[in-house]
C-alpha cells in the first residue's frame, strides 16, 4: 500500500487504487509489478501531489489556467501563447528539496543506470478515454541532475498544444487533470512493440494483434519505423505480415537514442519467432484477464525475456453485452431498426426493455437482440435473415458472412423442433391480408385512441409505487397493441405490396421504384400529417410581423404566454397549443422516455416554424398533399393503362390494382403503432415526474435529470424508501458521456467482433457513395450536413445529410429536396416519409456525415442508391 503522505513511491508500493496519485500509467505498472510471471523493469513514481505543489507554489499558473479554461479548439493562437508560457514557468520552477531528496534516495547505488522518464496523467489510460502520447516520454536518461530536469519537462508536457487541444475535444478540465511521473529502469531490447489483446479493427476479443520491430518500441509508436504485424488466436498464429524494416532506433551508450540502418538480412526477417509470438500473446491474455478488459500493451524483448513497460485499456472497442454463459451469440442492433443509435439513459433503456416481448441486451446504452437461436435452425435462419435483410442489406450481408463461417452451426435435423417453419416466424399468428380494406385501419386507430384516453384518465389517479405498478400492468396492454397480429398483418401487407409492385413493374414495364410514387399522400400517416400540420401553424403566424419578430428572439420555453399581448398573438399561441395537443409527446430520440418532449420544450419547434414561414406561401400544406394525391393517382392510371396492352393484361391489371389499393390504404399506417407507443410513454413520463418532484422536494434527489440515471425498478424503490445512491448516479452520468462517443455496430458477435456488411452493387458511378435506395428519383442540390435537428437552418431545395431521422425530423422534410442518412432501412422513418412526400432518398450510406461536406453540391439517386459529390 502507498503512503499517502509520501510524494515518491516504488512500483512495489502502488496498485490500481492509486490512480488519482500515480496517474494511469503509474497505477497500472504498480499493479503489473506484483503479478507473478510478468516482468516489469524496476522503477518509481512521483505523485500528482508533487505536481500540484509546483503549480500552487507558482501563483501565475493559476491565472494562466483560468484563461486556458475558456478557450475553444479554434483559439489556436491563444492556445499557442498560453501553452508556451505555462510550460516555461513549470520548467524553470525549482523542485522542492524534500521531493529531490526522496528521488535521490531511490537512485542511490545505481549510478550509471539509464532510465526512461514518462508522464502518467490522471486522465490517462482510463477504461474509456485514451490520452496516450499526449504528454512526453524521455529515454535513456542517466545522472541525477538530468533525471530531475526531465521530470520537470514531463510536468510541463501536460500543457503542450496537442495535449491542451485533446483535452478540450474530450471535455476534460485542464485544472482537474494532474500529472504523475514514472521513472523506470531502461531495458535495451533487441525488439519491442505493441500488443493488443483484442483485434482493434474488428473488436474480436479472441484475437491478439502484435506489432514488432527491432530496437526501441517508441520509434514504432511514433510511426518512424515499419513493423511486422502478427495475429494469434487460440494458441495459433493465424496471420503474419512481415514488413521491410530498413531502420531501427537504439539507445546510445552515452545517453539518448540513435537511428540505425538495418543489415539487409534482417530487413525482411520476422522480428519474433512463432514460439515468441505465442508466448507474448499468452502474457497479454493474463494481463487482460487481470484488468478485466482488453489491453494495449507496450513490450520489449531482451535476453529472451519479455518485459512490459506499459498497459492501458483499449478505449475504442464497443463493449460486448454481458451474458453469463460460454455459448456463442449474435447480437443485432435494435437502434438501427428504431432509427435511434444514440445511447439511452437507464430509465429509458429499462422501460424499453419492459415494453418488448423478446429479451434485449444492453451495451453502452444501446440495446441488442440475440438471434443465435434463430440462426441454429434452417427455417429460423431463413426467416431472420429475410426479415432483417429486407430492411437493411448491410445486416443481411453481415449475417451471410456468419453463415459462411458457420459461426452458429445448424442443429442436427432430428434436433430441430417439429413444425420449425411455423415456430421460426418472427411474429406467429399474423393473418395474411389480401385486400386493402380501409375500415380495418380505421378500426385499429379508433381502438388505440380509446385505450390511450383511458390510460391518461386512470394514471392521474395513482400515486407513489401505485404509479409504477399501474405502468407495469399497462405495459401488458401496450405489448398486446404493438404486437397485435392484425396490426402486424397490415404493416407486412403494405410492405409486401410495395415489394411486389417494384418487382413486377420493373419486370413487366421496365419501371423502377413505382411503389414510391404510389405511396405519396397516403391516408393515416400520422407522421407526415405532423409535418404538414406545422406548415399550417406557420400559416396562422405568417400575417403577424410582431409575432415573427418575437419568435426570432425567444430564449426560453415560456415564450407562449408572451404572445398574448401581440397582434395575432392569441391565435398564434392557440395554433401552437393545438399542434402540441396532438404531437407534443414527440421529440428527438423519442423511444427514450427521458428525452425532452416538444410539450416540455416548445421552443424546439420555433426554428422549424420560422423556416416554414420563410420557405412557403400560405396554403402550401394542402397544396403539397393534393399534389402527392394527384401524382399517385396519375401514376396508378398510367401503369394500369400500359399493363392492359400486355399479354394477360386483364389479369395483370387486376392483381396490380389490388396491390395498389393495399399500398394506398395500408402504407400510411406504418407510422401509427410507434405514435401510439410514444403517446403511452408520455403519459407514463408525466406520472413518473410527479413522483420525482416529490423526491426532489424531500431532498432525496437533486434534479429531475438525476432520475433518468436510475432504472425503472430503481426509481420505484427510491419512491418507496425515499433513499437514492447519488454516487451511482454520478458514475452513470460519466459513463453516459463516454457511451455518446461510441458508434454501435449493426451486428456483433459474443466474441466482440463487429461484422461489417457490404453492398453488392455493380455499375456504380466512379467515387460514388453507395446506400440503400428507398425513395426513387434523382436530384442535385446543396448538401446540408445536420447532426441535431434543433440546429437545422434548411432552405427549400437543400439535400439533408444526417446520421438518422425519427419522427421529430419530419417538419424539415417539407423543405428539403432529398434525404441521405447513415442508418435506415426500407420501412424505417426516413424512408416511409420520403416516399410519402415524394423525396428521393438513400439510407444506410456509411460515414455520410463525414464524407459529404456541408455546402457541397451533390447528386442523389434514390432509384439506384448512389450519391455523387459534384
Which triple of cell numbers denotes residue 234? 487460440
Say how many residues make up the chain.
870
CA distance 689 to 710: 13
Q: Write the pLDDT tens digit of every residue in 491-543.
A: 889 989 999 999 999 999 999 889 999 999 999 999 999 999 999 999 999 99
Higher pLDDT, 74 or 204: 204
Q: Lowest mean pLDDT: which of 17-26, 318-327, 418-427, 446-455?
A: 418-427
CA distance 826 to 601: 31
Which triple of cell numbers denotes residue 469? 405498478
Beta bridge partners of 579: none
CA distance 242 to 597: 56
For the chain, percent of residues with pLDDT exceeding 90: 64
Query: 246, 261 in Cβ contact below 8 A?
Result: yes
- Cα dihedral sign for 20, 23, 26, 31? positive
Which triple of cell numbers denotes residue 425? 416466424
The DSSP code for 733 is: H
Q: Lowest mean pLDDT: which of 99-103, 348-352, 391-395?
A: 391-395
Q: Lowest mean pLDDT: which of 215-219, 421-425, 725-729?
A: 421-425
Q: Write the pLDDT tens digit of every residue in 281-294.
A: 999 999 999 999 99
752, 756, 712, 746: which is closest to 322 by C-alpha? 752
Give the count of beta carbons closer than 10 Å to the beta carbon of residue 539: 18
Higher pLDDT, 403 or 160: 403
337, 339, 333: which is closest to 369 by C-alpha? 333
Predicted pLDDT of residue 425: 53
- pLDDT-derived band at 262, boundaries 50, 70, 90: confident
Q: Write the pLDDT tens digit of every residue in 571-615.
A: 999 999 999 999 999 999 999 999 999 999 999 999 999 999 998
Dump the DSSP string for 378-445.
HHHHHHHHHHHHHH-HHHHHHHHHHHHHTSSPPPPGGGSPTTHHHHT-SSTT-----S--HHHHHHHH
CA distance 421 to 440: 28
- Looking only at the bridges linking them, the beta strands covering 818-821 and 841-843 are parallel
Does the structure show a pLDDT above 60 at 818?
yes
By the 10 Å C-beta count (0-12 exposed, 13-18 middle, 19+ buried), 38 is classed as: middle
Does the structure show a pLDDT above 70 at 130?
no
Predicted pLDDT of residue 125: 40
- pLDDT-derived band at 422, boundaries 50, 70, 90: very low
Q: Write the pLDDT tens digit of every residue in 705-726.
A: 999 999 999 999 999 999 999 9
Which triple of cell numbers denotes residue 237? 498464429
Give the count of beta carbons closer than 10 Å to the beta carbon of residue 53: 17
Predicted pLDDT of residue 127: 43
389, 398, 381: which is closest to 337 by C-alpha? 389
- Looking only at the bridges linking them, the beta strands covering 866-869 and 799-802 are unpaired
pTM listed for this prediction: 0.85
Overall average pLDDT of the 130-142 stretch: 70
Query: 194, 222 in Cβ contact below 8 A?
Result: no
CA distance 796 to 707: 41
Does the structure show a pLDDT above 50 at 316?
yes
Q: What are phi and psi of 540, to 5 degrees?
A: -65, -40
HSE on the CB side for 386, CA within 13 Å? 13
Predicted pLDDT of residue 5: 66
* Of the ranges 413-427, 686-700, 830-844, the best mean pLDDT one: 686-700
Predicted pLDDT of residue 126: 42
| Residue carrying C-alpha cell 458514475 | 731
Q: What is the mean pLDDT of the chain?
A: 90
HSE on the CB side for 609, CA within 13 Å? 25
CA distance 700 to 466: 19
- pLDDT-derived band at 132, boundaries 50, 70, 90: very low
Predicted pLDDT of residue 848: 94
264, 207, 214, 246: which is closest to 230 by C-alpha? 207
CA distance 790 to 809: 9
Does the structure show a pLDDT above 70 at 128?
no
Beta bridge partners of 239: 231
Helix%, strand%, coil% for the chain, nearest 5: 50, 15, 35
Higher pLDDT, 761 or 418: 761
CA distance 466 to 281: 55
Give the count of beta carbons closer than 10 Å to the beta carbon of residue 259: 12
For the chain, percent of residues with pLDDT exceeding 70: 96
CA distance 284 to 212: 14
Predicted pLDDT of residue 428: 59
Q: What are phi and psi of 151, to 5 degrees?
A: -60, -45
In which region does residue 133 sit, left (phi positive, over 0), alpha (psi from -120 to 50) or beta (all else)? left
- pLDDT-derived band at 149, boundaries 50, 70, 90: very high
Overall average pLDDT of the 352-361 stretch: 92
Predicted pLDDT of residue 377: 93
Does the structure show a pLDDT above 90 at 558?
no
Give the 3-state secondary structure of residue 92.
Answer: helix
- pLDDT-derived band at 331, boundaries 50, 70, 90: very high
As a whole number of Å, the CA-based R_g of the chain is: 32
| Residue carrying C-alpha cell 418488448 | 356
341, 366, 364: which is closest to 352 by C-alpha? 366
- pLDDT-derived band at 797, boundaries 50, 70, 90: confident
Q: Write the pLDDT tens digit of every residue in 736-782.
A: 998 998 999 999 999 999 999 998 877 788 889 999 988 889 999 99
Q: What angle do CA 226, 227, 231 make, to 5 degrees?
A: 150
- Residues with a catalytic annotation lie at 829
Helix axis angle for 712-721 and 465-482, nearest 10°, is 160
Q: How far is CA 56 from CA 20, 53, 167, 823, in A?
A: 17, 5, 21, 50
Predicted pLDDT of residue 429: 64
HSE on the CB side for 245, CA within 13 Å? 27
CA distance 501 to 516: 10
CA distance 719 to 465: 7
Which triple of cell numbers denotes residue 320? 460486448
- pLDDT-derived band at 735, boundaries 50, 70, 90: very high
Amino acid at each position: 500500500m502507498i503512503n499517502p503522505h509520501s510524494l515518491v513511491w516504488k512500483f512495489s508500493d502502488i496498485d490500481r487504487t492509486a490512480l488519482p496519485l500515480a496517474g494511469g500509467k503509474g497505477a497500472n505498472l504498480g499493479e503489473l509489478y506484483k503479478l507473478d510471471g510478468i516482468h516489469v523493469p524496476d522503477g518509481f513514481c512521483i505523485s500528482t501531489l508533487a505536481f500540484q505543489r509546483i503549480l500552487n507554489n507558482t501563483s501565475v499558473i493559476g491565472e494562466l489556467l483560468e484563461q486556458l479554461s475558456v478557450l475553444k479548439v479554434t483559439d489556436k493562437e491563444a492556445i499557442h501563447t498560453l501553452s508556451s508560457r505555462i510550460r516555461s514557468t513549470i520548467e524553470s520552477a525549482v523542485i522542492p528539496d524534500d521531493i529531490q531528496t526522496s528521488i535521490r534516495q531511490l537512485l542511490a547505488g545505481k549510478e550509471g543506470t539509464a532510465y526512461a522518464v514518462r508522464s502518467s496523467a490522471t486522465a490517462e489510460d482510463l477504461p474509456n478515454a485514451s490520452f496516450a502520447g499526449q504528454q512526453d516520454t524521455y529515454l535513456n536518461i542517466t545522472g541525477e541532475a538530468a533525471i530531475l530536469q526531465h521530470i520537470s519537462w514531463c510536468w510541463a508536457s501536460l500543457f503542450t498544444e496537442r495535449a491542451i487541444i485533446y483535452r478540450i475535444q474530450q471535455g476534460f478540465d485542464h485544472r482537474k487533470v494532474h500529472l504523475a511521473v514514472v521513472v523506470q529502469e531502461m531495458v535495451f531490447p533487441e525488439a519491442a512493440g505493441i500488443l493488443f489483446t483484442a483485434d482493434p479493427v474488428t473488436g474480436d476479443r479472441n484475437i491478439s494483434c502484435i506489432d514488432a520491430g527491432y530496437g526501441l518500441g517508441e520509434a514504432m509508436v511514433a510511426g518512424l519505423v515499419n513493423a511486422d504485424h502478427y495475429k494469434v488466436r487460440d494458441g495459433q498464429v493465424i496471420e503474419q505480415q512481415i514488413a521491410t524494416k530498413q531502420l531501427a532506433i537504439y539507445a546510445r551508450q552515452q545517453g539518448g537514442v540513435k537511428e540505425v540502418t538495418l543489415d539487409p538480412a534482417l530487413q525482411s526477417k520476422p522480428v519474433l519467432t512463432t514460439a515468441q509470438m505465442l508466448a507474448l500473446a499468452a502474457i497479454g491474455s493474463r494481463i487482460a484477464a487481470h484488468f478485466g478488459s482488453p489491453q494495449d500493451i507496450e513490450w520489449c524483448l531482451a535476453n529472451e525475456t519479455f518485459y512490459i513497460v506499459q498497459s492501458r485499456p483499449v478505449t475504442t472497442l464497443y463493449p460486448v453485452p454481458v451474458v453469463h454463459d460460454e455459448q456463442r451469440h449474435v447480437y443485432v442492433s435494435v437502434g438501427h431498426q428504431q432509427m435511434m443509435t444514440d445511447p439511452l439513459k437507464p430509465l429509458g433503456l429499462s422501460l424499453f426493455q419492459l415494453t418488448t416481448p423478446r429479451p434485449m441486451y444492453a451495451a453502452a446504452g444501446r440495446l441488442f437482440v440475440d438471434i443465435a437461436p434463430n440462426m441454429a435452425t434452417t427455417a429460423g435462419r431463413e426467416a431472420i435473415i429475410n426479415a432483417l435483410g429486407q430492411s437493411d442489406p448491410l445486416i443481411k450481408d453481415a449475417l451471410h458472412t456468419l453463415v459462411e463461417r458457420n459461426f452458429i452451426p445448424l442443429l442436427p435435423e432430428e434436433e430441430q423442433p417439429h413444425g420449425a417453419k411455423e415456430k421460426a416466424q418472427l411474429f406467429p399468428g399474423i393473418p395474411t391480408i389480401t385486400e386493402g380494406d380501409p375500415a380495418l385501419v380505421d378500426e385499429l386507430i379508433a381502438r388505440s385512441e380509446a385505450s390511450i384516453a383511458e390510460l391518461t384518465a386512470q394514471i392521474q389517479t395513482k400515486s407513489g409505487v401505485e404509479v409504477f405498478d399501474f405502468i407495469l400492468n399497462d405495459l401488458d396492454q401496450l405489448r398486446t397493441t404493438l404486437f397485435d397480429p392484425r396490426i402486424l398483418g397490415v404493416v407486412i401487407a403494405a410492405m409486401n405490396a410495395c415489394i411486389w409492385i417494384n418487382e413486377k413493374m420493373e419486370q413487366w414495364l421496365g419501371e423502377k421504384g413505382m411503389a414510391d410514387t404510389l405511396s405519396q399522400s397516403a391516408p393515416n400517416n400520422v407522421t407526415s400529417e405532423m409535418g404538414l400540420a406545422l406548415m399550417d401553424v406557420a400559416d396562422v403566424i405568417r400575417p403577424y410581423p410582431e409575432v415573427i419578430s418575437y419568435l426570432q428572439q425567444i430564449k426560453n420555453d415560456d415564450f407562449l404566454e408572451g404572445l398574448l399581448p401581440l397582434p395575432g398573438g392569441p391565435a398564434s399561441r392557440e395554433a401552437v397549443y393545438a399542434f402540441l395537443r396532438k404531437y407534443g409527446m414527440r421529440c428527438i430520440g423519442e423511444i427514450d422516455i427521458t428525452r425532452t418532449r416538444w410539450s416540455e420544450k416548445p421552443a424546439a419547434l420555433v426554428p422549424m416554424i420560422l423556416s416554414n414561414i420563410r420557405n412557403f406561401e400560405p396554403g402550401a400544406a394542402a397544396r403539397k398533399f393534393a399534389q402527392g394525391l394527384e401524382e399517385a393517382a396519375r401514376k396508378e392510371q398510367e401503369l394500369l393503362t400500359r399493363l392492359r396492352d400486355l399479354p394477360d393484361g386483364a389479369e395483370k391489371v387486376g392483381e396490380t390494382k389490388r396491390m395498389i389499393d393495399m399500398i394506398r390504404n395500408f402504407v400510411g399506417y406504418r407510422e401509427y403503432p410507434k405514435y401510439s407507443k410514444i403517446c403511452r410513454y408520455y403519459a407514463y413520463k408525466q406520472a413518473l415526474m410527479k413522483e420525482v418532484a416529490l423526491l426532489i422536494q424531500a431532498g432525496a434527489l437533486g434534479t429531475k435529470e438525476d432520475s433518468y440515471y436510475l432504472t425503472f425498478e430503481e426509481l420505484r424503490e427510491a419512491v418507496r424508501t425515499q433513499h437514492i445512491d447519488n454516487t451511482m448516479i454520478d458514475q452513470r452520468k460519466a459513463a453516459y458521456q463516454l457511451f455518446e462517443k461510441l458508434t454501435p455496430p449493426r451486428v456483433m458477435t459474443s466474441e466482440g467482433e463487429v461484422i461489417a456488411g457490404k453492398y453488392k452493387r455493380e455499375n456504380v458511378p466512379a467515387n460514388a457513395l453507395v446506400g440503400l435506395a428507398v425513395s426513387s428519383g434523382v436530384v442535385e442540390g446543396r448538401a446540408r450536413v445536420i447532426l441535431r435537428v434543433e440546429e437545422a437552418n434548411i432552405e427549400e431545395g437543400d439535400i439533408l445529410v444526417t446520421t438518422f431521422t425519427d419522427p421529430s425530423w419530419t417538419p424539415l422534410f417539407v423543405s428539403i429536396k432529398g434525404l441521405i442518412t447513415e442508418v435506415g432501412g426500407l420501412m424505417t422513418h426516413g424512408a416511409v416519409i420520403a416516399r410519402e412526400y415524394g423525396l428521393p432518398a438513400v439510407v444506410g450510406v456509411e460515414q455520410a456525415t463525414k464524407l459529404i461536406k456541408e455546402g457541397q453540391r451533390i447528386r442523389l439517386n434514390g432509384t439506384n442508391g448512389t450519391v455523387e459529390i459534384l
